[in-house]
Amino acid sequence: MNRSYPNTRLRRTRAKAWSRAMVRETILTPSDLIWPLFVTEGTGVEDPVASLPGVSRWSVDGVAARAKEAAALGIPCIALFPNTPAAKRSDDGGEALNPDNLMCRAIKAVKDACGEDIGVLTDVALDPYTTHGQDGLVNGAGYVVNDDTVAVLVDQALNQAEAGADIIAPSDMMDGRVHAIRMALEMGGHHNVQIMAYAAKYASAFYGPFRDAVGSGGLLKGDKKTYQMDPANGDEALAEVALDIAEGADSVMVKPGLAYLDIIWRVKQRFEVPVYAYQVSGEYALIEAGAAAGIGDREALLMEKLIAFKRAGCSGVLTYHAPLAARLLGA
Ligand code: PBG
């Protein structure tokens, strides 16, 4: 196509709002949103997360109320993360396997409150349950061991599925865990429980506020670079995604979001699976800090970033701003 001025004036279709609406290539709807929620012990508790202005940890009853709110806003799925009390944390994260742990009680409360009106996604990794804040079992040298960790993650996933989780989301980055979890779910009769693999999860500086929120930040010694990916790598992300799909993932995630749009794009071009981005805690906090510092309108900053994920090929986005975005889209 050989276009030239003035036959082509690209400003013509931009001149009026109705026309811009007609030629818009990418649309964001509330059904593109997944809302991550932090759960804490107690009843009637709302405990604000200092590093995430506007985000709180909710007790189980509050989480059920938030889930109802989400469903009413047209948000199809929530993601749950527990803030496990220090007394229930251990070196091996055994609380993750307790059928009556905070996560399982929250799953049940949401299911009781909302039935099939909303999906519940649950994170599989040991960091909310360990005293060292690592996602798996640590050996004497401080190394997170792979295969023994996978065995525990399988039991954690089954525990969540038995409590009623709809989507199991392994965020631990151990090798082989998707296959092991898929087999266990099949054998346990959970054929329709999905797996959304955190397939390309990077060792990122943007997770800080999340670690505060689940109470693992102050505990973490060292970093997670022996299992989470090097931000310098792109081909390796495709290898991670290929393996997770082969192992039984129904959908894959790229995390964090905005700094990895090229990865989202490459994954979407290469594979026929739904791709999700996790706009992580540090990304949320940056929008809030930016707005507070007067660099731009908070809602405009948010919506521009969210549409970028759709344009790059995402089927949806995990974002702490989900209820705000859904409200803006519904208006
Ligand atoms: C746990 C997990 C993390 C996040 C989601 N699941 C933290 C980490 O890997 O240290 C981060 C989410 C966020 O920053 O919003 N494995």
150 lines ligand 1 (CB under 6 A): no
Which of 111, 201, 268, 310 does the annotation list as catalytic? 201
Assess whether 255 carries a catalytic annotation: yes
Instruction: Report pLDDT digits (tens) over 166-181.
Output: 999 999 999 999 999 9
Instruction: Report pLDDT digits (tens) over 186-207.
Output: 999 999 999 999 999 999 999 9
Q: Which residues share a beta bridge with 37?
A: 80
The dihedral formed by the CA atoms of 199, 204, 208 and 212, expressed in degrees to the nearest 10: 30
pLDDT band at 331 (very low <50, low <70, confident <90, very high): low
pLDDT value for 327: 98
Q: If you average pLDDT over residues 118-135, what whole number do you get?
A: 97
pLDDT value for 28: 98
Q: Which residues share a beta bridge with 252?
A: 197, 275
Q: Indicate which residue's Cα is closest to atom 10 of ligand 1.
A: 207
Q: Which of 122, 126, 171, 225 to mutate to test the pocket of ligand 1 (most atoms within 8 A of CB)?
A: 171
Q: If you average pLDDT over residues 77-100, what whole number do you get?
A: 97
Give yes or no for residue 113 having a pLDDT over 70: yes
123 lines ligand 1 (CB under 6 A): yes
Ligand 1 nearest-atom number relative to CA 220: 10
Give yes or no for residue 318 having a pLDDT over 90: yes
Q: If you average pLDDT over residues 217-243, what whole number do you get?
A: 95
Give yes or no for residue 158 having a pLDDT over 90: yes
pLDDT value for 217: 82
pLDDT value for 83: 97
Q: If you average pLDDT over residues 264-284, what whole number do you get?
A: 98
Task: Write down the domain spans for the chain.
Answer: 27-330
- Which tokens go with 69? 């709110």
Average pLDDT, the chain: 97
- Which tokens go with 106? 């929250």
pLDDT value for 182: 98
Instruction: Report pLDDT digits (tens) over 33-48.
Output: 999 999 999 999 999 9
pLDDT value for 208: 94
Architecture of domain 27-330: Alpha-Beta Barrel (3.20)
Instruction: Give the span between the Cα atoms of 39 and 41, in whole angstroms.
Output: 7
216 lines ligand 1 (CB under 6 A): no
135 lines ligand 1 (CB under 6 A): yes
Task: Give the residue with greater pLDDT, 215 vs 274.
Answer: 274
pLDDT value for 128: 96
**Residue 237 · residue 267 · CB < 8 Å:** yes
Q: If you average pLDDT over residues 109-131, what whole number do you get?
A: 97
pLDDT band at 139 (very low <50, low <70, confident <90, very high): very high
- Which tokens go with 94? 């055994």
pLDDT band at 2 (very low <50, low <70, confident <90, very high): confident
Which of 111, 224, 255, 268 does the annotation list as catalytic? 255
Instruction: Report pLDDT digits (tens) over 39-77.
Output: 999 999 999 999 999 999 999 999 999 999 999 999 999
| C-alpha 307 – ligand 1 centre gap (Å) | 22
Q: If you average pLDDT over residues 98-108, what whole number do you get?
A: 98
**Residue 59 · residue 42 · CB < 8 Å:** yes
Q: Which of 167, 142, 137, 134 lies closest to 36 in space, CA to CA?
A: 167
**DSSP secondary structure, 202-265, as one string:** B--GGGHHHHHHHT-TTT--S-STTTSBPTT-SHHHHHHHHHHHHHT-SEEEEESSGGGHHHHH
Assess whether 68 carries a catalytic annotation: no
281 lines ligand 1 (CB under 6 A): yes
pLDDT value for 218: 86
% the chain with pLDDT above 90: 97
